Amino acid sequence: MNTPTLVHAGLDISKATLELHFQGEDLAFTHDAKGCAALIQYLRKSSKPVHVICEATGGWERPILDALHSAAIALSVVNPRQVRDFAKATGLRAKTDRIDARVLAGFGLHIQPALTPPPSAAQRELAAWVTRRQQIQLMLQAEMTRLIPGLPRTIVKDLESSILRLRKQLARIKQRLAQLIASTPELSAKAERLCSIQGVGPATAAALLGHLPELAEFNSQAIAALAGLAPFNDDSGPRRGVRHIAGGRPIVRSALYMAAFSASRCNPVLKPFFERMRTKGKPYKVAMIATARKLLTTLSIALQNPNFSPCQ
């Protein structure tokens, strides 16, 4: 039996429009319920399986992604920087919505990115609350930085009021995250496994469950790249450059770094690992990133293997 050829469709998503490049054609749809339905109807006319390639756009992509998942159309949400690098590699520097859709189609054809599975309602809400928690934390840090000596008393009172309000919001979000995880058996079981590793608390577990659902599915190298903890070589001929981490998901990387900071002081496996790195002369941050990556691998194994011991 012959396997039907897969057709890649590039979809550029903006707040108002959906720009599609499919089988050599360029089409534009409105980014609303009517436009999403029309786009899906158009894709369904294809005699071959369709694989839609799009970029993460900070949330604007959610309506069309929900519609595509509901219609059982394969899709991949890819890293915008990777797509831009792909475009530059092909000599294409111009950038418009229509050009971006064409580039995405080419990216799908040549790179064959992994499919993006549909998130559960609980996982989606969890990710949204984790993001909101980070937003409030950044606002709180900014307000505390503004509280400097010499300000008029009225400004001080206003800042203190704002700081108190933000702290109360964080407390409510913490409670909401705990309730959401506890009310979802799958998330609750995973959170318990994650928190069994010394150094990992509820905040880190929520960040991983919300923004790294692939944790139990990918190998250690792939999951490290998704988390932004994979060091990339910078070598040329005899020169050996310094390796750097890059890309990945910032919320996940920040959560793992803070967890590694704690694990490097209390975890029976990661504490000696961190100390060995430092004894070898590794800079503090390099040793901490290495510890965060080892912690991530440990967490991945913990989710994949129910018999895993936290002290392994």
Q: 124 and 101 in one domain?
A: no
Domain assignment of residue 56, given as a range: 7-111
Q: 166 and 91 in one domain?
A: no
Residue 250 covered by a domain? yes
Q: 128 and 68 in one domain?
A: no
Q: How many domains does the chain have?
A: 3
Residue 292 covered by a domain? yes
Looking at residue 69, its pLDDT comes to 92
Looking at residue 2, its pLDDT comes to 45
Residue 49 covered by a domain? yes
End residue of a domain, out of 111, 141, 165:
111
Model confidence, pTM: 0.79
Which range is least confidently modeled, 7-11, 15-19, 220-224, 264-268? 220-224
End residue of a domain, out of 64, 92, 111:
111
Q: 63 and 98 in one domain?
A: yes
Looking at residue 232, its pLDDT comes to 58
Q: 148 and 70 in one domain?
A: no
Separation CA 147–CA 153 (nearest Å): 11
Indicate the average pLDDT of the chain: 89
Residue 1 covered by a domain? no
- CATH code at position 22: 3.30.420.10
Q: 57 and 143 in one domain?
A: no
DSSP 97-152: HHHHHHHHHHHHHHH-PPP-PPPPHHHHHHHHHHHHHHHHHHHHHHHHHH--TT--
Better-predicted residue by pLDDT, 239 or 141: 141
Separation CA 12–CA 23 (nearest Å): 15
pLDDT band at 1 (very low <50, low <70, confident <90, very high): very low
